A and B are shown apart, each in its own frame.
Chain A
């Protein structure tokens, strides 16, 4: 019981994921700044931001639905941290695993988007409501390519458990090459999921202020920002565990270092992409998802099935 609480609250649960998300946020901001020819923040900036926000007053709009407004960030954070417990990171086994946890992780990662929608919708401000509607529209655009690209990798491994997928690829490293297409689709869909440039449409600053978060301030905003940071960690960890399960056979320390490096590499790719592009419009984003990303993900599924057939797995 005590051990379970330790797992959930301290390591590798809430505390670790939160601190790691501060670190990845720093790496992301620093890299992005360097790509843009700026100096960038010092390493403690994300923590300082969090403390500053947490010490500020929470203002709940008069017309907002108070309960939804206050619970939404908590649910977002809880869902992200829970999802992390099912993702194998520095070993081949996640902390908790069962057959079908792949679907659970994807489902848990959908909850933050739903909370963004609810938070924005029940803020009752025009900017938040438009941002909320855009969050949901974007969800329908990126969710299918993301799910399909991960599903394709799972199909080849022949299991619905993330831990089993990871150990399958850890033993057959050569098979990772078959998933290259799926990896590209997953990264693009992940950008959409994390609402980062070029897909930061739901919180496009110059159009709708901050989208769903327009009315948020203080602790609640700090929680939402933390949830988004954790979502970045969990999203990249998921992609890393499915597409890069390397160096897992050399004990927990090597595995842990490899895991951190993989996540940082993915974060670097994301920073690069977001400093290279202009923001898409929501219709362009949907076209890209359904006309390019989804067919490519389907192609990846077919490739996986063909490879499976050819290799008699």
Chain B
């Protein structure tokens, strides 16, 4: 008589080697197959949106860079575009080109980083070591151009803060040639390396319909054949002046997402070469007012992970009244549960990693309208008491824990 296999629930996270940031995926397993999955976010809420309201616009640029360590330029630029639109600032062409340049360099370092992480998640550490070594080329370049490896602080209201010299231009072209050669090598690996292909293809399926329905953005959506790219659909910075292809794939799986990111790297090199060639002379910033007139704006930006959306409402003072950040991971995380379902436990790390998640950027606090719990302020002591009571209700008593963990002979 066939019996139903026993289901086991395992928590992946908040602390787990597969995850680089705290979040929790509750997986219900039937043997090695994942039958159900639930996503819990909110372990790393930092209150950045609220903090932005109590700082000036200039201070907020630096705050917004710290939404995400990897796509720092993306968030800063996205925010600043909204502010510039409200203030009616005309950003000089050269500044637009410089923003595009840094944006594409950032995409290169982010995609290289992702490729290494993906290698590690499927137990292919050699790929991690190789890609992160090559990533140093672009990191050094970013440090030379902006002064920082991450959080470049390139933007200011009305333009950028640093210009590039002819020498730097030559360095960029050299580095891009080198990176392009390495990218060809990795494209070769993705095409020929059988153990890698076996681990990636057919894993984490997301059909085109599901991608649209669940709102997948960026490489995750494009790998399911959804040709959406804010750079082309709603050009900002200098993207209207350069030619590039929106890379899509119809693999609809993790392999497709790998291929899309690798081919996007090649498009980035193309964009950088055009930007350097066509960059006009002129000022790199216009003078911006300290106070921004009342108004609101939404800004879109194609970050390495997908479309980033910022909303800013100004009230005529030097501080924004409301800032809302929609990081790309929030759009993609809905699709993860769908991709995990009926897959192997062994594929869980790579399926989660394949959306290139950035959970700290995504965490928000939500207070439900009409909820019976009144919103209020909890002091540290009250929060601690609440935590102790919460666990005690569930049978865990931390006061008792140290004695329970002690060895029998020590009791």
Interface residues of A (CB under 8 A from B): 35-38, 59-60, 62, 126-127, 129-130, 197-198, 200-201, 204-209, 275-284
Contact = CB atoms under 8 A, between A and B. Distances in A.
Interface string B343-375: 011111100000000000000000000000000
B344 A62 contact: no
Contact of A126 (B10, B199, B405): B10
A78 B9 CA distance: 35
Interface in B299-358: 344-349
A294 to B, nearest CB: 19
A206 B117 CA distance: 11
Nearest to B10: A126
B196 A278 contact: yes
Contacts of B124: 277-279
21 contacts: A36-B130, A37-B130, A37-B133, A59-B405, A62-B404, A126-B11, A130-B29, A130-B32, A205-B17, A206-B120, A206-B123, A206-B349, A209-B17, A277-B124, A278-B122, A278-B196, A278-B199, A279-B123, A281-B199, A281-B347, A284-B198
Contacts of B405: 59, 62
Interface residues of B, number: 35
B344 A278 contact: no
Q: Nearest 3 CB-CB pairs, A to B?
A: A279-B123, A278-B124, A36-B129
Contacts of B130: 36-37
Given A206-B17, A276-B126, A281 B404 contact: no
Contact of A279 (B17, B122, B133): B122
B126 A36 contact: yes
Given A37-B129, A198-B195, A209-B16, A204 B344 contact: no
A306 B19 CA distance: 54
Contacts of A282: 32, 344, 346
B278 to A, nearest CB: 37
B129 A126 contact: no
B303 to A, nearest CB: 25
B343 to A, nearest CB: 10
Nearest to B353: A206
Interface string B135-155: 000000000000000000000
Nearest to B407: A60
Contacts of B9: 126
Contacts of B199: 278-281
A79 B61 CA distance: 63
B168 to A, nearest CB: 28
Contact of B126 (A35, A200, A204): A35
A206 B199 CA distance: 14
Interface string B1-43: 0000000111100001110000000000100100000000000
Interface string B93-121: 00000000000000000000000000111
A50 to B, nearest CB: 23
B126 A201 contact: no
B346 A201 contact: yes
A38 B344 CA distance: 32
A207 B125 contact: no
A204 B125 contact: no
A197 B129 contact: no
User: Most A CB atoms within 10 A — which of B11, B18, B122, B123?
Assistant: B123
Nearest to A137: B32
A285 B130 CA distance: 26
Nearest to A38: B129
B348 A207 contact: yes
Given A207-B349, A283-B344, A278 B195 contact: yes
Contacts of B10: 126-127, 130
A54 to B, nearest CB: 18
Interface in B354-411: 404-405, 407
Nearest to A126: B10
A125 B349 CA distance: 19
A127 B198 CA distance: 24
A281 B123 contact: no
Nearest to B405: A62
Contacts of B346: 201, 204, 207, 279, 281-282
A36 B125 contact: yes
Contacts of B119: 278
Contact of A197 (B16, B123, B344, B345): B123
B123 A198 contact: yes
B126 A275 contact: yes
Nearest to A278: B124
Interface in B198-228: 198-199
A276 to B, nearest CB: 7
Contacts of A59: 405
A204 B32 contact: no
B195 A280 contact: yes
B125 A206 contact: no
B409 to A, nearest CB: 11
User: Most B CB atoms within 10 A — which of A62, A206, A281, A282?
Assistant: A206
